[in-house]
A = this chain, B = another copy of it.
Amino acid sequence: MRSIYLVLDMQNDLVAEDGPSGKGPLGQQVRERGILERTAAAIAKARAAKVPIGYVRVGFSPDYRECPTTSIIFSGARQHGLFKLGTRGTEVHTKIAPQPGDFDVVKNRVSPFYGTNLEPILRANGIERIFCSGVSTIAVVQGTVRDAHDRDYAVTVLEDCCASPTADDHEAAIRVLQRFTQFTTSDTVTFSD
């Protein structure tokens, strides 16, 4: 079964130590849980197994013309100048930097399946299994798992490479996904293509 590893929203605006979220509760969780290091290890394993990597990033034109005014989530981004394409904030953190040949999926909403070329990518490459992790567990990880489930992809979440603004949020998100996906960790995952 052909696989892909989706690294979700691991961009500087959310995970850089000196970034707007990195200085706050999400950044603290990311550091406490060693998310960047664990994700780097998982990516290395996926590359070794020749499983393609897809970096998913959320981003808008600097004037936010693709961004809804109604969303609670994105009105914060707009207010604080987050997620501007072409700036460092939407680039993937250097510790887990993309390499030539990786997939780049830019999205304008929460789920990577909505309004993106993720599905054309999955279909063109005959992919049937999705490994995924990222921030936050309550937003993009949930969206990925749920949409992948409904489209009959096998899904595995690398739990120790996911974080939310609080540990309770993370645990709640994992709890509600129990019946939708399998869980593994960066240590124990076996990528196979």
At the interface, yes or no: A139 with Cβ under 8 Å from chain B? yes
Known: A146-B111, A146-B142. A124 touches B68 (CB 8 A): yes
Interface size of A in residues (CB-CB distance below 8 Å) = 51
> Please, which residues of chain B bring their CB within 8 A of the CB of A191?
none
**Contact bitstring A95-131, B, C-beta under 8 A = 1, else 0:** 0000001010011111100111111110111000000
A110, B72: Cβ atoms closer than 8 Å: no
B151 A114 Cβ-Cβ under 8 A: yes
A4 to chain B, nearest CB (A): 11
Chain B residues positioned under 8 Å from A146 (CB to CB): 110-111, 142-143, 146
With both beta carbons as reference points, the residue of chain B lying nearest to A137 in the complex is identified as B176
Note all chain B residues with C-beta closer than 8 A to A109: 120, 149-150
Distance to closest chain B CB from A14 (angstroms): 14
The 8 Å CB contact of A110, one of B138, B143, B149, is B149
